[in-house]
Amino acid sequence: MSQELSSEQIQQALQGISVPPQPQIMVDLQMEQYMPDPDLEVIAKLISQDPGLSGALLKIVNSPYFGLSNKIASIQRAVNLLGSRSVINMINAQSIKGEMNDDTIVTLNRFWDTAQDVAMTSLSLAKRIGSQAVDEAYALGLFHDCGVPLMLKRFPNYMAVVEQAYANAGVDCRVVDTENHAFNTNHAVVGYYTAKSWRLPEHVSHAIANHHNALAIFSDESSRNSQLKNLLAILKMAEHICASYRVLGNQTEDHEWDSIGHLVLDYVGLSDYDFENLKQTIRELGAHH
């Protein structure tokens, strides 16, 4: 089934927005591809930990060239569809995107760490609360902050503003309001356009656009937006469990969760006690990998 893509086709597909791949994952991928018999499952697992590589991969597989009837969010499936040769070509195309300096890498580690953690936690939560959309939950966890590296590229003081945004967050102020005030744009908007350029399924892109808009979304008790609510509920729980407010926001308190947590838990039907237990279970699981 997998059609071989030429390097030109891959380069063309990867034009435009680029979220840099994590250097360590690139090293691991290089090592795997020089094995006498590269293992596609290992390659898929490595790619699926990195937003930039996963985005590039889904962009190619969801392109008209492949003619899938529905856009997919499963990175494993995308690797299988593309086949090892084309996947390796794509990895190599990503690796020549330019070197980053050490400061940038240190800052971006905050983004990569939360992306991996939140993706894995979203997956665990989706399985535990019986969600159908397991691949989408993982993808949203991986990609929800993909606007961050792009904002950082454009605004050198961006992380300082993010910290301020998390400090200000609460009932009257969204994380993105502080960014809008400083830059007239924010990482959720930029993330939405990035996700669109990667041809992610529309409802995943829509959730990225709205992931700091949870208060308004969950305050609306009508049955509207149930697909969005299902995805966002998992994401917001995962961000809280993974302490994005600390890793990205450099805060000791999760002000955003304090303002939306009860609405999210009501929506998924978990008591505070249930959620505390779930949090412990997932954190213990996370400590082992």
Same domain (yes/no): 151, 195? yes
The number of domains in the chain is 2
Same domain (yes/no): 203, 277? yes
Same domain (yes/no): 81, 112? no
Same domain (yes/no): 125, 75? no
Average pLDDT over residues 227-248: 96
Lowest-confidence range among 57-66, 245-254, 263-272?
Answer: 57-66
Q: Does the structure show a pLDDT above 90 at 258?
A: yes
Q: Which residue has the tokens 């009837």?
A: 69
- Return the H-helix or E-strand segment holding 39: none
Q: Domain containing 160: what range?
A: 102-287
Mean pLDDT of the chain: 91
Q: What is the pLDDT of residues 171-203, one digit of tens each?
A: 899 999 999 999 999 999 999 999 999 999 999
Position 173 scores a pLDDT of 94
Q: Does the structure show a pLDDT above 90 at 271?
A: yes
What's the pLDDT band for 232 if we cut at 50, 70, 90? Answer: very high
Position 97 scores a pLDDT of 60
Same domain (yes/no): 52, 120? no
Residue 84 lies in a domain: yes
The phi and psi torsions of 11 (rounded to 5 degrees) equal: -55, -45
Position 289 scores a pLDDT of 45
Residue 59 lies in a domain: yes
| C-alpha dihedral (57, 62, 66, 67), degrees to nearest 10 | 170
Question: 93 or 158: which carries more pLDDT confidence?
Answer: 158
Residue 2 lies in a domain: no
Same domain (yes/no): 130, 86? no
Q: What is the pLDDT of residues 38-55, one digit of tens each?
A: 889 999 999 999 999 999
Q: What is the CATH number of the domain that holds 206?
A: 1.10.3210.10
Position 224 scores a pLDDT of 85
- Domain C-terminal end among 52, 69, 96: 96
Same domain (yes/no): 140, 170? yes
Percentage of the chain lying above the pLDDT 70 cut: 96
Same domain (yes/no): 80, 142? no
Same domain (yes/no): 125, 265? yes
What is the Cα–Cα distance from 28 to 42, expressed in whole angstroms? 10
Average pLDDT over residues 101-119: 92
- Domain C-terminal end among 96, 121, 139: 96
Residue 1 lies in a domain: no
- Return the H-helix or E-strand segment holding 284: helix 272-287
Same domain (yes/no): 141, 253? yes
- Domain C-terminal end among 78, 96, 114: 96
Report the b/e string of 26-52 with b at 16+ CB within 10 A: bebbeebbeeeebebeebbebbbbbbb
Position 240 scores a pLDDT of 97
Position 3 scores a pLDDT of 62
Residue 51 lies in a domain: yes
Q: Does the structure show a pLDDT above 60 at 2?
A: no
Same domain (yes/no): 110, 80? no
Same domain (yes/no): 121, 92? no
Residue 213 lies in a domain: yes
Rounded alpha-carbon distances, angstroms, from residue 211 to 13, 162, 228: 27, 15, 10
Please tell me the pTM assigned to this model.
Answer: 0.92
Question: 222 or 6: which carries more pLDDT confidence?
Answer: 222
What is the Cα–Cα distance from 283 to 266, expressed in whole angstroms? 22
What is the Cα–Cα distance from 92 to 9, expressed in whole angstroms? 13
The amino acid occupying position 171 is: V
What is the Cα–Cα distance from 44 to 37, expressed in whole angstroms? 15
> 19 is written with which tokens?
């979220």
Q: Does the structure show a pLDDT above 50 at 1?
A: no
Q: Does the structure show a pLDDT above 70 at 288?
A: no
